[in-house]
Structure 1
Amino acid sequence: MFKNPDKAPKSYTPAEALPKIAAFCAYQERTQKEVADKLKSYGLDEDEAGEIIIRLGREKLLDEERYAQAYARGKHRTNGWGRRRIKMEMKAKGLSEYCIKSGLKELDGDEYYDKLKQLLGQRAAREKESHPQKRKMKLMAYLTQKGYESDLIQEALGELADES
């Protein structure tokens, strides 16, 4: 959808903005930063936006800890991201250290390692490099980029070599 540059964005009063932003939060989990940016786009000042954010928190529509937990689970299961990548992305979203730790606790150790092995197996099957050392380095680089820890990568690569 194209936006008309001649048309100014619509401004809302706090009373008009509240149901819109409540629907915005109910649709999916949001961070306070996302909500604040949306309220700013509605033409509200920081004080008005702050009051609405506090109200959303009291009404349990906005909860950054719940957001972090859902984010960590989702990015791990659907994108195959490791803890390091998830943590980095959550920091970039402005989440507190407490929320980040809470989100990372959602990742089950066995499921996490199984996902790592699954990604390794898929990538190894597609990898064309025949030189063993170069092949190992490429697989390690891929999993490191996904955010997995080196010790787990080494362990999974060892298991893969044992299976071969």
Structure 2
Amino acid sequence: MKQNSSQKSYTIKEATIKLMQFCAYRDRSHKEVEDKLKEMRMIPAAQELIIMRLMQEDFLNEERFARSFVRGKFRIKKWGRVRIKQELKMREISSPVIRMAMTEINEEDYRETLSELAEKKLNSISEPNSFKKKKKLSDFLLRKGYEANLVFDSVNSLTD
């Protein structure tokens, strides 16, 4: 890696303050913070110190991050459980924390959101062939991350 002289170097104190602002803006995962520290070219020992301080002062909290991630992706993007879990795994969140965070989704709201999404999408599909229409709707809902059995129940109840 070529050394870039125009890149700023940070003291541990400066980096800690910068990361506190980074975490205060919105909840962050450990991976995001680690990536940011690497980007700032902090040595591993300094990264560890900074991460510990952020955790002690509650700027960095994996469970809080996971819970707010689940709420946001479900309420705003209307993602299903499958997609949310995949995204959390990509962010290197542990399985027990993922399981805990998934409790943020109320089962009744989940099924209601799925059927609203399915109805809205079905109305926007202009496909005369009913088999193709069902397939397009199913594919859309599966991409959104809903479980296959729920998708097929929903599609069948809407198109029969």
The two structures have a TM-score, normalised by structure 2, of: 0.92
State the secondary structure of the residue aligned to 1:130: coil
% identical aligned pairs: 38
- Give 1:33's aligned residue: 31
Which residue of the other structure, out of 60, 79, 82, is the alignment partner of 2:80?
82
State the secondary structure of the residue aligned to 1:79: coil
Quote the offset at 1:158 in angstroms: 3.3
1:59-138 aligned at under 5 Å gives the runs 59-138=57-136
Query: 1:81·1:146 contact (CA, 8 Å) conserved in 2?
Result: yes
- Give 1:151's aligned residue: 149
Cα distance in structure 2, aligned partners of 1:8 and 1:110: 54
Query: 1:84·1:149 contact (CA, 8 Å) conserved in 2?
Result: yes
Where does structure 1 lack aligned partners over 5 or more consecutive residues? 1-5
1:5-20 aligned at under 5 Å gives the runs 8-20=6-18
Range with bigger deviation, 33-42 or 105-114: 33-42
Cα distance in structure 2, aligned partners of 1:8 and 1:104: 44
The two structures have a TM-score, normalised by structure 1, of: 0.90
Quote the offset at 1:13 in angstroms: 0.7
Cα distance in structure 1, aligned partners of 2:78 and 2:5: 41
Quote the offset at 1:50 in angstroms: 0.8
Quote the offset at 1:30 in angstroms: 0.4
Aligned length: 157
Where does structure 2 lack aligned partners over 5 or more consecutive residues? none
- Give 1:3's aligned residue: none
Cα distance in structure 1, aligned partners of 2:6 and 2:85: 37
- Give 1:43's aligned residue: 41
2:70 alignment partner AA: A
Offset from partner CA, 1:84-134 (integer Å, 9 cap, x none): 011111111111111211221111111111111111011100001122222
Quote the offset at 1:33 in angstroms: 1.2
